Amino acid sequence: MDVRKAVIPVAGLGTRFLPATKAIPKEMLTIVDRPTIQYIVEEVVASGIEQIIFVTSEGKSAIENHFDYNYELDHVLKEKNKTLLGKELDMISNLIDIVSVRQKKPLGLGHAIWTARHIVGAEPFMVCLGDDLVSSEVPCAWQMLELFREVGESIVAVQRVPPNQTFQYGIVEGIENDRERTHRVKRMVEKPAPGTTDSDLAIIGRYILMPDIFEILSGTTPGHGGEIQLTDALLALSMKRKMYAYEFEGTRFDAGDKFGYLQAIVAYALRHDELAEPFKEHLREVVKTL
């Protein structure tokens, strides 16, 4: 069965980025010339997904508005002959079919995904975290969908991290697979205490999940941090049926974290058509002063 839908949870509180995120969703913070969430939606669209399901919460309507048609703005831009800008806004509102569901309390990522169960239904689906950016030649979601067509089972995207950082991630212990960059998941642990795992395969914010995950999430009790953790449900799913960890090609940025956000701005500015050259020049000048 094909993957047609992508769930994008954007209901988190964004506490790591306060006070910036007090009134503005972290997913709407700008990376060069567009909000973080737009890069993620564009990645999903470029990968052939047909529908996006945003899991939102109170105070996140700016995200839905960003992808909606704004009649007044369109009218003013036309009057002022700013047709190019108008076209770009049109493009954003016509990108893809988007629906939203409300997560009433921020009970964790597992709970956020569970909230989308009625709209996803009984089919495999993609999950992309609303603050995780992947810069790559071939969109990360596309790479994963290609693997899914071969294996027809759940996939988590992973990247290798230094051993002293494993405690910050969900970590996969896997068995090497014949296919390049692909591992069979053996075990999974959320934020392992230092020295308790030999693996350096850290889960990032891209998943393809079989719909069985919903039933598992229904019975998952709050884990680490009092939240319904996705990793706990993934572990249960991986024991029920095969699951793969895929080392995607590209660079991932945690744009929900201040340092990750700064790294993303530099990386995306350096690949921007108009800004790359002047920005490089500026960076060279800055480096001289360090």
Binding residue count for ligand UTP, defined by CB under 6 A:
21
Q: Before 19, cis peptide (omega within 30)? A: yes
For ligand UTP, which residue of 15, 61, 65, 165 counts as binding (CB under 6 A)?
15
Q: Would you say 115 or 182 has its CB closer to ligand UTP?
A: 115
Residues in 46-75 at the binding interface with ligand UTP, rule: CB under 6 A: 55
Cβ atoms of 183 and 201 within 8 Å: the answer is yes
Query: Interface with ligand UTP includes 98 (CB under 6 A)?
Result: no
Nearer to ligand UTP, 100 or 182 (CB): 100
Name the one residue in this structure whose structure tokens are 């071939």: 138
Cβ partners under 8 Å of residue 278, min gap 6: none
DSSP 107-170: --HHHHHHTTHHHH-SS-EEEE-TTEEEE-SS-HHHHHHHHHHHH-SEEEEEEE--GGGGGGSE
Contact status: 151 vs ligand UTP (CB under 6 A): no
Binding of ligand UTP by 235 (CB under 6 A): no
131 scored as a contact of ligand UTP (CB under 6 A): yes
Length of the chain counted residue by residue: 290
Angle between helix axes 276-288 and 258-269 (nearest 10 degrees) is 120
Q: Least distance in Å: CB of 133 to ligand UTP?
A: 11
CB nearer to ligand UTP: pick between 174 and 256:
256
Q: Is 181 in the site for ligand UTP (CB under 6 A)?
A: no
Closer residue to ligand UTP, CB minimum distance, 108 or 139: 108
Between 54 and 279, name the residue whose CB sits nearer to ligand UTP. 54
Which range touches ligand UTP (CB under 6 A), out of 13-21, 119-127, 184-192, 212-220?
13-21
Residue tagged 């990386």 (tokens): 267
Single out the segment in contact with ligand UTP by CB under 6 A; choices: 38-46, 65-73, 107-115, 276-284.
107-115
Q: Which is nearer to ligand UTP, 69 or 259 (CB)?
A: 259
Our finding on whether 35 is near ligand UTP (CB under 6 A) is no
Tell me if 170 contacts ligand UTP by CB under 6 A.
no
Give least dist CB 57 to ligand UTP, A: 7
Q: In the bound complex, what is the minimum distance in angstroms from residue 60's beta carbon to ligand UTP?
A: 8
Q: Does 124 bind ligand UTP (CB under 6 A)?
A: no
- Write down the least CB distance from residue 157 to ligand UTP, Å: 14
The answer to whether residue 216 forms part of the interface with ligand UTP (CB under 6 A) is no
Chain positions contacting ligand UTP, by CB under 6 A? 9-17, 55, 103, 106-109, 111-112, 129-131, 256
